[in-house]
Amino acid sequence: MQLVPYDTVMRRTLSRLGEDYDGVAGQGTTGPDGQRWRDVRDAVAESLERWWLCAWWPSICRTEQRPLRAHYSPASAYEAGTEVFYQPTCSYYHAVRTTAGAAPATYADGEWTTNFAYWAKSARLYSAADYSDTTAYVAGDQVFYPLTAKWYQCHTAATGELPTDTDFWGELVEFIPTLPRTMAGYNAIGHVRSITHHDPRRFIETPRVDFNEVDTGWQVHEWVNHPWVTYRLRCPRLEGLAYDATATYTPEATEDASWSLPIAYQEGIQHIYNTTTGLWQPVILTGSDSEAQIGLGPGVSFLVAPSSSQSISSGEDVQFATVDAMKTTLLLDWARAACLNLEAGDGNWSYWVRTAETGLDATNPAIAELSDGSFARRLYP
Amino acid sequence: MASQVYFNGDFFEAAETASPGQSPTTHPAKWRRVPIPRDAATYLVAESYALIQTSDGQDDKARAAHRRSQEMLDRAIVAMRRFNSSPDTMTVLSR
């Protein structure tokens, strides 16, 4: 998205009104908090909302693959009933008891197995026999308990312990396929234009999935694990006052944030938001591994080694480099940042980005611990 | 506590808690610039002018200004759709 400074809009508006910019905007430390300055700000904010909502402007629309729940994070603690999306299995799970650091599924002998000690695989509907107090249940067993008319899953071996005993059982959560308006790490959605099973930019004929708007987002009418969503970004608000160097500023809650966004797509090219420059910078992934190319902007730190492997392993000596200038041409050295997801076995294209997060679980196929003790996350184009 | 500031000609939202003195210049990682699309700028100026004329009680000027900004918007939408060969909605008028 090409941006224009707010001051440019304000200057031109004041010029049309025949008013003096310096008189309204203030100079030096006086700050622009006068009533006229607020009048202009509010008028620009209202105009922006009108423009934003009157059409599907390409510059404010995005197409991207988004899960229906937040990604599982090994650094987070989860209460019983919390739902997550687990990228390696492309499935949804919910905690059956409090957990932190235990992945929803583990990989062994070529297949993924749900970690029944802490998690249940989510479903819209469950089917299980009635609970019996003489049956010996093991982790993963599911029952229906007529007294509460609910389904439960055993997380700790139990014989005779009622399903309502949380020391042994966790209640199963019926999954409602709803696309949330906001999710950490994703753009806040203003309005959804379409939801599809496949990338509509590559598969133009991919059928659209029906949906309807609800208070928490958009309810999807058929099962789609990891939908592609074409949407309009949420219209930003203009409501701030002049920066006060003596004040503390705190971010809004995710649900209220206009702009939460490290990753986005634009015109078929994935972009990363550079918080240093305030610019969207393109990341281009194309073709097979030998043809892959990546364009990077200044300040973005990306994996550039190993040179021969298609995937990296925890503890492997990998290198990152910080780009000092915009690069959009084919750079074979950078091609190595695009890795086939062989480790997770799903064959999806992915790439690794260094993260400032600490304490991550390096056994997660989407996370790798680097030789300097920092971590990298696998992202998917 | 506030989360958005006006600073050096733009609005910024706090991405993380910014302590006193941590401005968008000194601690850019703690702030996100609020985006104003360049392709909206001309309309924003025209419509903002019209809205301010309205609030100033200049009704005649405001009406004319609103009409011009709406025409400007209509032209922009038509131009955009011209480059979109497969519009997904169509309005059919009949008597």
Q: What is the pLDDT of residues A2-23, one digit of tens each?
A: 889 999 999 999 999 998 888 7
On chain A, the residues whose CB falls within 8 A of the CB of B38 are 1-4, 59
Q: What is the pLDDT of residues B17-34, one digit of tens each?
A: 899 999 998 988 888 889
Tell me which amino acid residue A364 is. Answer: N
ipTM of the complex as predicted: 0.89
Of chain A, the percentage scoring pLDDT greater than 70 comes to 65
Size of interface A-B (CB pairs under 8 A): 182
**Banded model confidence at residue A188, pLDDT cuts 50, 70, 90:** confident
Can you tell me the mean pLDDT for A39-48?
A: 94
On chain B, the residues whose CB falls within 8 A of the CB of A62 are none
CB of B10 within 8 Å of a chain A CB? The answer is: yes
**Banded model confidence at residue A323, pLDDT cuts 50, 70, 90:** very low
Name residue A361's beta-bridge partners: none
On chain A, the residues whose CB falls within 8 A of the CB of B29 are 275-276
Dist. CA A370–CA B7, nearest whole Å: 37
Q: Is the pLDDT of residue A28 over 60?
A: no
Q: B95 CA to chain A: closest CA distance, Å?
A: 27
**How do A136-137 and A158-159 pair as beta strands?**
antiparallel
Handedness of CA A340, A276, A45, B79 (dihedral sign): negative
Contact A296, A321 (CB under 8 A): no
On chain A, the residues whose CB falls within 8 A of the CB of B43 are 47, 51
Q: What residue has token string 């015109």?
A: A267
Q: How many residues does chain A have?
A: 381
Q: What is the pLDDT of residues A80-124, one digit of tens each?
A: 999 999 888 889 999 999 998 899 998 887 788 999 999 999 999
- pLDDT for position A377: 62
Of chain A, the percentage scoring pLDDT greater than 90 comes to 43
Dist. CA A310–CA A175, nearest whole Å: 35
Do B52 and A13 count as a contact with CB atoms less than 8 A apart? yes
- pLDDT for position A2: 82
Burial of A362 (0-12, 13-18, 19+ CB in 10 A): middle
Do A239 and B80 count as a contact with CB atoms less than 8 A apart? no
The SS3 call for residue A17 is helix
Contact A220, A68 (CB under 8 A): yes
Handedness of CA A160, A165, A170, A174 (dihedral sign): positive
- pLDDT for position A111: 84
Dist. CA A110–CA B85, nearest whole Å: 46
On chain A, the residues whose CB falls within 8 A of the CB of B89 are none
Do B17 and A245 count as a contact with CB atoms less than 8 A apart? no
Using alpha carbons, select from B67, B38, B77, B49 the residue that is nearest to residue A44.
B49
The SS3 call for residue A271 is strand
Q: What is the pLDDT of residues A50-83, one digit of tens each?
A: 999 999 999 899 898 899 998 888 878 999 999 9
The gap from C-alpha A63 to its chain's centroid, in whole angstroms, comes to 13
Can you tell me the mean pLDDT for A151-155?
A: 98
Q: A196 CA to chain B: closest CA distance, Å?
A: 15
Q: B94 CA to chain A: closest CA distance, Å?
A: 24
CB of A246 within 8 Å of a chain B CB? The answer is: yes
Higher pLDDT, residue A164 or A275:
A164
Q: B92 CA to chain A: closest CA distance, Å?
A: 18
Averaged pLDDT of chain B: 85
pTM of the model: 0.68
On chain A, the residues whose CB falls within 8 A of the CB of B73 are 50-51, 54
Q: What residue has token string 């930003």?
A: A236
